[in-house]
Amino acid sequence: MDPKTIAEAYFTLGTHIEDSQARVSDAAEALIPLVRRGDQNAVQALGNLRKAAVSMQAERQWAEYLWQLASGKNPPPPAAAPTTTAAPTPDDTASPRTFLDNLLGDLITLLP
């Protein structure tokens, strides 16, 4: 495969992932007040957004892996997707930490 084609595909995929992350972040930010009030639908929606964030993180890792393969490197494949999508606790190393966890941590401490 042509290196230019590979580069274009890699950057296009990265752009799509970043756009999706922005939409997930915006939705999560809008849900925070409802979650704080105990709205169970909002809690469930936030959980679904976290699952999407974990999936996006895995896609980004695989895209990076494929990019390295295409550039002639021989990296190990990304680790298998986690079996849990629960938000990690500060001392938890088993659950993946995603962009959404970082955003939610910041939002929860900043919002009244």
**Range 35-69 burial, b when 16+ CB lie within 10 A, else e:** beeeeeebeebbeebbebbbebbbbbeebeebbee
Domain extents in the chain: 3-110
Distance CA(54)–CA(59), nearest Å, equals 9
Q: What is the pLDDT of residue 39?
A: 93
Residue 96: how many CB atoms within 10 A of its CB?
A: 20
How confident is the model at residue 108, as a pLDDT?
A: 61
Query: Which tens digit of pLDDT belongs to each residue from 24-65?
Result: 989 998 998 998 899 999 999 998 998 888 888 888 888 888
Predicted TM-score (pTM) of this structure: 0.69
